[in-house]
Structure 1
Amino acid sequence: MSETPLAEPSPPVPFRVFHVQPGAPAHELFELPTAAPAAGFFWVACTRAFLGDHLQRVQSTLQAVTGQQLVDLHVSDLLNAQLPSHYDYTSHYDLLVFRRLVGSGRPRPNGAVDAPPGPAAADGDKPSASTPAPALRRIRTGAVGFAVFDQLLFSVHPDECTVREAYAARLLALNTATAGSPAAETASIPQETAQRDQRAGLLTAARMPTSPADIMLRVVNLIVDGYLDLRRELSRQLDHWQVELLRPRARAINWTALLESRLALHQLDEICEDQRTAVQDWIDAIEGWPQPATPAGLREIELLKVRSRDVLEHIERVVHHVRRLEQSAETAVQMHFSLQSNRTNDIMRTLTALTAVFLPLNLIAGIFGMNFEFIPFVHLKAGFWWALGTMLCIALALTLFFWRKRYLARTGQG
């Protein structure tokens, strides 16, 4: 009986093109555009490999649609997967690079998270203190680049970018959403994003994006949501680390894994700091844009500012939470060593008390062990029993004295 071969994963889509018109359904095109749209704007989302292999084709498309091409340095930034989050601009377009979570941390359909193979994977959400937490081991990021033109958004993603596919599916789903059914419109929106969009006065599923910058901010929203989800997992797993560290008899603690976890938190802090700086620079750039002459244009600019500030606030929440986790981990380590020090002190106190109990007994045994011919009780028939009884009484008296002084009592952490 032959086994059915497993289906190989489908190769990533090299590029996706959408024609977006406010107030009208979005359409996906299957070829790169060759001219500027009569209404609305284009969203061209390609993979980094596609940009590297078809750079001239992409530049020709940008020239045909916007009348401008990407600067060579910005092309290098978009092709660099290790570039930190940052913002730059020219007189014709704005460039934003934003790092997102990638790799083994991608959620599976059942809600679990893929973890690298190892002992921790078998323990589920409760890794032991001898193995690094899965969420801490999976903080791997990749750069997503956005070039924002007046009538085109050009974005560059990793080869398997779930963020691109997630927002593309949502954008196409707006075509079939019922305008009079808010519940149906918001059913597929994550809670964090829905609340953010409501505060911004722009419910994502209620209206189409109004500009390339609007789409860019909505995609950035999804990226930030991934860090918010990671924040919850880090809290749960760091709580378990603290419980393990505060166990007074914990012995199988892998300090290398703990150090790697703390380094991962430092890395996440640096990533979020770069993101915050990039978004703040973007907000400062929006403040310098010329004021539109129409009320609709003014409202669009205000909504972009509100959405941008809200994204910045969520990044700051992640930064604050990560730093609190770092402090909690440091405090747990210090408390662990404090507990171990107290336990060592208890042991040394007990040993000292026992030594004090046997010290007079050793003195008596040493006296009667001297090589003198005439020693009291040596030649008595009951001398041995008198000496033994005296030593026993001294031992009991000292033991009772130390017990009342609590030198032999165990503390709560012992």
Structure 2
Amino acid sequence: MKAAFFMQRSFNINFIDHDLSWLRMQVYYFYRHTTDNYIFLSRERMTDHELIFKWADCVREDVVNHAEQWQKNIKGLTDLSINEFHIRDILNIDHPCAFDTMEDYDLLIFRKIITPDDQISNSDVTGEIHESIFGLATTPISFIMSQHVLISIRETGNKAIDHYVERFEQILQRSIEEQNKPRKLPSTPIDLTLRMLNSMIDAYLDLRTPLTRRVEHWQRELLQGRKRFNQWPQLFQENMAFQQVENLCEEQIETLQELRDELVENYHHLMGEHAAESPDLLLVRMNDLGSHIERTQKHTSRLRAAIQSAIDLHFNAIANQTNENMRILAIITAVFAPLTLLTGVYGMNFEFIPGLKSPEGFWMMLAAMLLSTVLLLYYFYRQHLVGRGEKSVIEMLAQQKHQRNVNLFWFLDYEPIKQTLKEVEKITRFK
């Protein structure tokens, strides 16, 4: 009877392995050495060492195209029955960052910004398109975590996950005694999850340089361009891309905070026999993840503020140029106003006008017109309105204390007249 049971068990294992052959799924087993108590990695199942946890790395296209068969294989491999609504969340390419808990496992959906190092492309097989705003696109990565199982569902070409797969493949080529050198292997599913999240979030910091260059490009176009700026749709799309990054960072911070709360409140349920270990290292790692996301969010906010400042400066420069043109036109008008007055006076149809019959009258009129022009230009020059550039704000504020504006009722400031006006005001109030 026992032999039949073991034969049936061996048949089920072989059947599962056979089903896994058509999937692009990679399974890694993490064992603890029986005598030396260190962790090592294997692609094969072992019975003489303690199994700590297993990691199944799945490609999202397999889940989309063969959802039912994928669930059966996961059930046979990990004994986990994934909730139907969680399957829908995993299949939704536009699902936001989220964290949910079940009795058997926890689900973490994390959206990653597609960086230039990634080789993720829109799939023709699934017919799905990653939403992209001016070159910035995100892709979902799902983590199903339990005490002994970690399942990751990601797109093909995700460089952060591929980096860990390549690293584990290199570790498998070493001997069991050398696998923990120079870095120790993860001891829990959540530890491996946080390490992969850290690899993804660290790539965000590399985006700061190209994003800063984009902002510098728009600043040059807005402030130093000699032609009229007409790329407003592209600039607004760029601003929306920064808004998208800020919203994504906010979602990620909230999701990590929910995971942190779950780790603190239900640490024994999440860790199982590893609950005796201190959660301080995991909390430090999660705080580091949140700090990196906040740095990216603050940098993006500064870039948005820089773009907005450039737009404000652009419109201020246009307004300043308009004011400069109006100032020049006002100066020209002021210079020609006395000339117009003189020509208008001597253009009157009176019979007797001084100098009308004099042979020097024309030259005297030209001299008077020239003198008035020179005097006005000298006045504008002394007032820093022409020929000496713009005054600083401090100079303009200081000048207001020493100069009076043109006042048509200047005679009312005379002291005797002031006293008379006050007495008239008192009599009026009395009546």
Q: Name the TM-score, length of structure 2 as normaliser.
A: 0.72
Match of 1:172 in 2: 169
Q: What secondary structure does 1:99 align onto?
A: strand
Question: For residue 147 of structure 2, what is the amino acid of its counterpart?
Answer: D
- The question of whether the paired residues in 2 share the 8 Å contact of 1:100 and 1:144 is answered with yes
Shift of 1:306: 1.9
Which structure has more relative contact order (CA 8 Å, sep 6+)? It is 1
- The question of whether the paired residues in 2 share the 8 Å contact of 1:101 and 1:142 is answered with yes
Residue of 41, 45, 65 corresponding to 1:26: 41
1:70 aligns with 2:82: yes
Shift of 1:140: 0.7
Question: For residue 211 of structure 1, what is the amino acid of its counterpart?
Answer: T
Distance in 2 (CA, whole Å) between partners of 1:18 and 1:412 is 72
Shift of 1:373: 3.5
Distance in 1 (CA, whole Å) between partners of 2:253 and 2:181 is 23
Shift of 1:260: 1.3
Alignment of structure 1 residues 274-289 onto 2, 5 Å: 274-289=251-266
Question: For residue 235 of structure 2, what is the amino acid of its counterpart?
Answer: L
Distance in 2 (CA, whole Å) between partners of 1:247 and 1:374 is 61
Match of 1:124 in 2: none
Distance in 1 (CA, whole Å) between partners of 2:352 and 2:305 is 71
Shift of 1:146: 0.7
Shift of 1:108: 8.4
Cα–Cα, structure 1 residues 87 and 51, in superposed 2: closer, same or farther, change >3 Å?
same
Alpha-carbon RMSD across the aligned residues, in angstroms, is 3.4
Shift of 1:84: 0.7
Q: What secondary structure does 1:40 align onto?
A: strand
Shift of 1:307: 1.3
Residue of 2, 5, 14 corresponding to 2:24: 14
- The question of whether the paired residues in 1 share the 8 Å contact of 2:147 and 2:272 is answered with no
Match of 1:383 in 2: 361
Distance in 1 (CA, whole Å) between partners of 2:162 and 2:306 is 36
Shift of 1:204: 9.7
Match of 1:372 in 2: 350
Cα–Cα, structure 1 residues 213 and 71, in superposed 2: closer, same or farther, change >3 Å?
same
Residue of 304, 307, 319 corresponding to 2:297: 319
Distance in 1 (CA, whole Å) between partners of 2:306 and 2:383 is 36
Match of 1:129 in 2: none
1:152 aligns with 2:149: yes
Alignment of structure 1 residues 76-115 onto 2, 5 Å: 76-102=88-114, 105-107=115-117
Residues 17-76 of structure 1, C-alpha deviations (whole Å, 9 max, x = no match)? 2223354543447xxx9x9x9613222122221012222232223322332211000001
Structure number, greater radius of gyration: 2
Distance in 1 (CA, whole Å) between partners of 2:390 and 2:226 is 13
Residue of 234, 249, 252 corresponding to 2:229: 252
The aligned length equals 350
Q: Which ranges in structure 1 are unaligned for 5 or more consecutive residues?
A: 1-12, 115-134, 186-202
Match of 1:57 in 2: 69
- The question of whether the paired residues in 1 share the 8 Å contact of 2:144 and 2:152 is answered with yes
Match of 2:380 in 1: 402
1:308 aligns with 2:281: no
Which structure features the higher share of helix residues? 2
Identity of aligned residues (%): 29
Match of 1:335 in 2: 313
Cα–Cα, structure 1 residues 360 and 54, in superposed 2: closer, same or farther, change >3 Å?
same
Distance in 2 (CA, whole Å) between partners of 1:15 and 1:138 is 30
Distance in 1 (CA, whole Å) between partners of 2:377 and 2:340 is 15
